[in-house]
Amino acid sequence: MKEIQGTSNRYLNINLTDRTWDVYRVAPEDLKNYLGGKGLGLRIFYERLKDRLKEIDPLGGDNLLIFSNGVLLSTGAPCSARFEVLTKSPLTGLMVCSSCGGPFGEASKTAGWDGVIISGKADAPVTLRIDPDGARFEEAENLWGRGTKETQEMLNLGPKEGAAVIGPAGENRVLYANVCSGHRFAGRGGIGAVMGAKNLKAVVARGREYRYSPLKQKRFNRTLRRAKKHIMRNELTKGYRDYGTNANVSYGIVKGYVPVRNFRDRYNPGTVALTGEAMAERYKTRHSTCNYCSVLCGHRGHYPDGVIRQIPEYETIGLFGCNIENYDPDKIGQWNDIMNDMGMDTISAGGTIAWAMEAGEKGIRKTSLSFDDHANISGILEDIALRRGEGAELAEGSMRLSEKYGGKEFAIHAKGLEIAAYDPRASWGHGLSYAVHNKGGCHLGSYLVSLECMLDYMPAHSTMGKAEWVAFCEDVFTGVNSLQTCLFTAFSILTEPPVPKYMPRFILKIATSVMPRMSQMLMDWSVYSSFFWAITGIRCTKGNFKRAGERINKLERHMNVCMGMKPEQDTLPDRFTKEAATKFPGESVVPIDKMVKRYYKIRGYDPVTGGPSEKELRALGINF
C-alpha cells in the first residue's frame, strides 16, 4: 500500500455528458482557508459557477454534484469516516451540503482522491466506478428502479469498495430524495434528485490502495488521546451510545420540544412509548454505526415481526411519531425502512405529510392522509417515491404545496427545507438556528437545543446571547464538517474541558447570556484545529479554525444571495412566532425578528441583501 503524507489534494473531475475525467488539484492556500470537506467543496463549486449561480437549474446538467472528503478521513481519528455531498438544492434553490458516514468516503479517499466533482448529465442510467487510476462509466439500466439496498447488493461490492447510490425517489426527482452509502444517508435538500437527474445511479469507489499519515505524528497522537478521552467520558455522548439519538425524546417530553400534531401541541403523554429507553428495551437494540465511530449513536433492533431493522433516528421518530399522532414505534420502523430503501429524506417526508394532514383537516386540500388513520402511510411513501397519485404532489415538499393551496402558516419549513423535530418555542436559540442557517430548516446548523435544553448551559426562553452563540456554533460546526468528523463529537470536545464541565450551572447560564463571547472562550475546540495542523502540517490555531468556519459560512451565504435568497427568508413559520398556547405548560412564541436582527449585526450581513458586504468578502479573501 502506498502512503500519502497529509492529504492528496486531488479531486476527480468527471463530466457525465461526454463521459470523460481529469484531475483537479487543490491549491495549498485553499486547503488552509477552507480546510477540506464542506469548505473546499463550496470553494470549488463557487470557483466553477460563480458567474451563473442564479441560472443553474438544480436538476440540469449545469449543476455540480460534489463528493468532498476531509483531511481526517482514514487517519484513525474518531468518527472520521464521513464525507460531504454538495450541490444546488432542487428543494430550496440554494446551496445544500450534507454529511454522510457511509463507506463511500473511505473507499474514495484510500483510492487517492480527496473528492469527486461531477458535472454534466449522462444520456442513459450510468454507474461511475472510480479507483486510483481514474474513472470508468458502466451502463446501469439493470439497476434503475431498484431500492438502495438491492442496488448495493447488485453492485457486488468487495471489501475494498464503497458506494453512494440513489433509490427510486432520486430517479423520479422527488425534491427531497437522498443519497445512500451503506446504511447511512446524505439526507437533506434533494441531493438524490440531482444525482437522478444526471442519470447517475451509483458511484462506486475501490480504495485501500493508499494509506494516509499525519505530517506531525506526535501532535496527532497527542490530539487523538485527548479526543478519545473526552468522547468516552461525556455524559450526553453516553446517552446517545445507549439509546441512540432517541435519547433526545425524554429531554423533549420534559422540555416541550417534541413536535405533536404538526407542531401544534408540544406534548402528548403517548410519546413515552417513543423514548430511546423504551425502544432499547422493546427491540433489544444493538450498535449499528458508521465506521471508526466512537459515539455509537446508530442502533439496530429486533422488531416483533422478526425483522432486524435500523432503529429510526430521533428526527424520524418525532416526525413520523408524535407529529402525526402515531405512538406505535413498530410502524415507524417499517416506514423508515421504506423511506431508506426508496432513498428519501425522512424529515422532509414527515414534514410534508404532516402539512397535508392538517391541510386536509382544515379543508384546504383534499387528501387521504389523516392524523387519526395511519394505515395508508406505507402506500403514500411509495407513491411519493414513484410520483404516483397524491404522492406526485407530496414529492414537491411543504413549501410548494402551501404556496399552491394556502396554509403557509403551518407549513413547517425554513427556506423551503422542512424543519427537524425540535419545536423552537421550547428553545429560542434553536429557532434562530433554523431561521438563519444557510441550508434552511436543518437542526445541525448550530444545534443550540443541546446547550439550551439538554446540557442546560443557557436559558431556553431568552434572546440574550443567542445570536452570538448561533454564529459561534455555526462557525465551529462548519469547521467540523470540513475536517471532517461527526458533529456529535462536539458535545464532548467543546464541553469536557474542566471550566464548562465543573462550573455551577447558574453561573454558566449568566455567563452564556450576558457575556456570550467571553463564555465561548471557556469552550475548547483546539482538538479540531490541532488535528488539522497535525495531518496537513499547516499551522492552525483555535482562532484560525473558527475563522475558516466563518469564511466558509459567509461564502455559502454569499452564494445563496447570488442564487436569489432574500433576507425575509431568514425567519420561522407563523406557528412558532404567533401561536403561543399549546398543550405544554406555559406559553411561548419565538421572538425571531429581534434575534435575526442581532445575528445580522454580528455577521455583518446587509439587511437589504441578506448577505456579507463586498468589504467583508474581501477581508475573508473571497473573490467575487
Partner 1 sequence: MSYSVSELCTGCTACVKACPVSAISGTKGERHLINPALCIECGACGRICPRGGILDDRGEPVERLKKSLWPRPVIIKENCMACENCVSACPAGALSMLSEDLSLHENTAVLLKPEACVSCGWCVQACMFDAIVMEVHA
Chain residues that interact with partner 1, rule: CB under 8 A: 1-2, 76, 78, 131, 158-160, 206, 208-209, 228, 241-242, 280, 284-289, 291-294, 296, 302
Select 101 or 189, whichever has its Cβ closest to partner 1: 101
Nearest of 556, 574, 577 to residue 565 by alpha carbon: 556
Nearest of 549, 556, 427 to residue 481 by alpha carbon: 549
> Smallest gap, in angstroms, from Cβ of residue 454 to partner 1?
21
Grid cell at residue 419? 424543519
SS3 for 321-388, per residue? CHHHCCCCHHHHHHHHHHHHHHCECHHHHHHHHHHHHHHHHCCCCCCCCECCECCCHHHHHHHHHHCC
> Smallest gap, in angstroms, from Cβ of residue 269 to partner 1?
27
Q: How far apart are CA 351 and CA 257, in angstroms?
A: 15
Strand (E) positions, 430-471? none
Select 438 or 489, whichever has its Cβ closest to partner 1: 489
609, burial (CB in 10 Å: exposed 0-12, middle 13-18, buried 19+): middle
Query: 370 φ, ψ to 5°?
Result: -150, 145
Q: How far apart are CA 422 and CA 417, in angstroms?
A: 14
> Smallest gap, in angstroms, from Cβ of residue 331 to partner 1?
24
Residue whose C-alpha cell is 472562550: 521
Select 300 or 466, whichever has its Cβ closest to partner 1: 300
Biggest CA–CA distance in the chain, Å, is 66
Select 280 or 435, whichever has its Cβ closest to partner 1: 280
β-pairing, 115-119 with 10-15?
Answer: parallel
> Smallest gap, in angstroms, from Cβ of residue 299 to partner 1?
9
Q: Is 118 helix (H, G, I), strand (E, B) or coil?
A: strand
Bridge partners of residue 161, in order along the sequence: 206
> Smallest gap, in angstroms, from Cβ of residue 295 to partner 1?
9
Select 131 or 383, whichever has its Cβ closest to partner 1: 131
Select 292 or 434, whichever has its Cβ closest to partner 1: 292
Select 77 or 258, whichever has its Cβ closest to partner 1: 77
The terminus-to-terminus CA distance of the chain in angstroms comes to 42
Bridge partners of residue 165, in order along the sequence: 180, 202
Select 183 or 554, whichever has its Cβ closest to partner 1: 183
> Smallest gap, in angstroms, from Cβ of residue 2 to partner 1?
6
Q: How far apart are CA 541 and CA 524, in angstroms?
A: 11
Q: How far apart are CA 185 and CA 101, in angstroms?
A: 7
Grid cell at residue 561? 444571495
Select 287 or 597, whichever has its Cβ closest to partner 1: 287
Grid cell at residue 27? 491549491
Alpha carbons within 13 A on the beta-carbon side of 402: 25
> Smallest gap, in angstroms, from Cβ of residue 233 to partner 1?
13
> Smallest gap, in angstroms, from Cβ of residue 530 to partner 1?
18
> Smallest gap, in angstroms, from Cβ of residue 78 to partner 1?
6
Select 43 or 226, whichever has its Cβ closest to partner 1: 226
Bridge partners of residue 129, in order along the sequence: 136, 204
> Smallest gap, in angstroms, from Cβ of residue 234 to partner 1?
14
Q: How far apart are CA 435 and CA 599, in angstroms?
A: 11
> Smallest gap, in angstroms, from Cβ of residue 297 to partner 1?
11
Q: How far apart are CA 47 and CA 25, in angstroms?
A: 13
Select 174 or 224, whichever has its Cβ closest to partner 1: 224
Select 60 or 76, whichever has its Cβ closest to partner 1: 76
Strand (E) positions, 501-623? none
Bridge partners of residue 202, in order along the sequence: 127, 165
445, burial (CB in 10 Å: exposed 0-12, middle 13-18, buried 19+): buried
> Smallest gap, in angstroms, from Cβ of residue 12 to partner 1?
17
